[in-house]
C-alpha cells in the first residue's frame, strides 16, 4: 500500500536538517549585514570629510572642536563642534535658528538640539537616539532638553587636557580642540596620516563608564537615574559643569583621544574599543595633564565601535580607513596628532 504522509521520525529529521541549515546560514547573513553597515558607516565619514573641507574652504580653517568661553574654560562652553559641520551636511535650513553664543540648553538652541541626523549614527550601533537628561534636571535646577546622540568623535589627539590649546604639549595636540582653528598647513605630519574624526559608539551595553583612568570596573558613583552606558551628542558642550551644578561623573563629549596625557611619560594610552570608557571631565587643575592623580587629570573618551576588530576613521585628506584595534599604541598616538613628528609605519 502506498504511503500518503511522513512518519514522525521523518518529519523530525527534516526539521533537524532545516535547523542545521539555518544555523549555518545565520552567521553568513550577519557577516553580510555587518559588511554593509561598516560600508555605510565609512560613507557617513566620507560625507563628513567633504563637509570639513567645504568648511575649511569657506572659513580658512577647520571649525573649533568645542566652543568655549573667551577664557577657553569649558565651564563657559556653549556647544560641540559638530554644530558647524551640520551646516555643510544639508542641515542648514533648520540650523539657521541656531544662536552660536548661546548655550545649547537655552532657547532657541533648546528646541534644536534634539534633531537627529542620520549621518551621525553608525548603523552597526543604532540608527537613532537621544540622551535622556531627565535625571539631571533636579540637579541643574532648570529644564534641560534631551539632545540627539552621535556615534562619531572629533580627534583631539593624544592628550585630554581641556584648557588653552597652546598649553597642550605639541606631541599630544590633535586637529580639534577647545576654540581651535586648525588650518591644513598646520598639519605638519601630513593630512593623509592625521585622524580627523573617528567612531564613538554610544548607549551600547558593550561600553560602560569608568570614573578614573586606572579603574578596572564600571563606575558606581553615578547620578541617580543616570545610565551607566557612555553616550554623547552632536550639540552639547560639557555636561559636567558648575553652571548645571553637575560637576562630577557624566557623559562623553564630542572629543575622542588615543591617550590621556600624551607628551609625557607614561602617556596613559586609551586603547581603541576599551569596554570601560572615561567620561569627559574638566578638573581645572592644569592645562597640560602632566599630573597623574585621580581627580586631577582631565579625561576624554577613547574611540570605539561595534565593528569586529577595529574602527573606521576619517583622515584629514578626506580618506577613510579601518584601523585594527591591535594597532601599536605609539602608531595610534602618532596618527591622532597633527605635528608630533613621529614616524608612522604602514600598519594601519
The pLDDT value recorded for residue 27 is: 66
Give 238 or 230, the one with higher predicted confidence. Answer: 230
| Average pLDDT of span 153-162 | 95
Q: For all residues of the chain together, what is the average pLDDT?
A: 89
pLDDT at 241: 78
* Interval 28-54 mean pLDDT: 88
Per-residue pLDDT tens over the stretch 105-125: 989 999 999 999 999 999 999
Of 280, 225, 275, the residue nearest 68 (C-alpha): 280
> What average pLDDT does range 310-331 have in this prediction?
97
| % pLDDT > 70, the chain | 91
Choose between 132 and 283: higher pLDDT.
132
Average pLDDT of span 62-80: 73
Give the Cα separation of 343 and 130 in Å (integer). 40
Amino acid 78: pLDDT:
67
pTM of the model: 0.89
The CA-CA-CA angle for residues 61, 64, 67, to 5°, reads: 150
Secondary structure (3-state) at 152:
strand
| Res 30 pLDDT > 70 | no
Nearest alpha carbon to residue 300 among 282, 312, 314, 275: 282
What nine digits make up the cell of 107? 532657547
Q: Residue 314 corresponds to which cell in the numbers above? A: 576619517
Of 54-63, 117-126, 164-173, which range is least confident? 164-173
Examine the pLDDT at 72 and tell me if it is beyond 60: no
For the chain, the structural domain boundaries read: 41-336
Give the N- to C-terminal CA distance of the chain in Å, as an integer.
70
Amino acid at each position: 500500500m502506498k504511503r500518503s504522509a511522513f512518519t514522525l521520525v521523518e518529519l523530525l529529521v527534516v526539521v533537524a536538517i532545516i535547523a542545521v541549515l539555518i544555523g549555518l546560514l545565520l552567521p553568513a547573513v550577519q557577516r553580510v549585514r555587518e559588511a554593509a553597515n561598516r560600508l555605510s558607516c565609512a560613507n557617513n565619514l566620507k560625507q563628513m570629510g567633504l563637509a570639513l573641507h567645504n568648511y575649511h574652504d569657506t572659513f580658512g580653517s577647520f571649525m573649533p572642536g568645542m566652543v568655549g568661553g573667551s577664557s577657553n574654560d569649558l565651564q563657559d562652553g556653549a556647544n560641540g563642534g559638530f554644530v558647524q559641520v551640520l551646516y555643510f551636511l544639508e542641515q542648514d535650513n533648520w540650523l539657521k535658528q541656531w544662536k552660536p553664543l548661546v548655550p545649547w540648553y537655552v532657547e532657541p538652541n533648546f528646541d534644536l538640539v534634539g534633531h537627529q541626523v542620520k549621518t551621525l549614527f553608525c548603523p552597526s550601533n543604532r540608527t537613532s537616539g537621544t540622551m535622556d537628561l531627565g535625571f539631571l534636571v533636579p540637579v541643574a535646577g532648570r529644564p534641560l532638553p534631551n539632545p540627539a546622540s552621535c556615534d562619531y568623535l572629533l580627534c583631539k589627539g593624544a592628550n585630554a587636557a581641556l584648557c588653552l590649546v597652546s598649553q597642550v604639549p605639541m606631541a599630544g595636540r590633535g586637529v580639534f580642540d577647545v576654540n581651535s582653528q586648525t588650518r591644513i598647513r598646520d598639519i605638519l605630519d601630513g593630512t593623509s596620516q592625521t585622524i580627523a574624526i573617528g567612531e564613538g559608539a554610544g548607549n551600547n551595553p558593550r561600553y560602560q563608564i569608568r570614573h578614573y583612568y586606572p579603574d578596572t570596573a564600571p563606575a558606581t558613583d553615578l547620578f541617580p537615574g543616570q545610565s551607566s552606558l557612555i553616550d554623547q551628542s552632536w550639540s552639547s558642550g560639557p555636561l559636567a559643569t558648575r553652571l548645571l551644578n553637575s560637576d562630577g561623573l557624566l557623559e562623553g563629549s564630542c572629543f575622542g583621544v588615543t591617550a590621556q596625557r600624551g607628551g609625557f611619560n607614561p602617556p596613559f594610552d586609551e586603547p581603541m574599543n576599551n569596554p570601560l570608557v572615561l567620561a569627559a571631565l574638566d578638573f581645572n587643575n592644569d592645562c597640560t595633564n602632566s599630573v597623574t592623580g585621580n581627580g586631577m587629570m582631565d579625561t576624554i573618551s577613547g574611540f570605539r565601535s561595534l565593528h569586529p576588530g577595529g574602527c573606521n576613521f576619517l583622515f584629514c585628506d578626506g580618506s577613510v580607513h579601518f584601523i585594527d584595534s591591535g594597532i601599536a599604541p605609539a602608531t595610534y598616538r602618532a596618527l591622532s596628532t597633527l605635528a608630533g613628528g613621529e614616524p608612522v609605519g604602514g600598519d594601519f
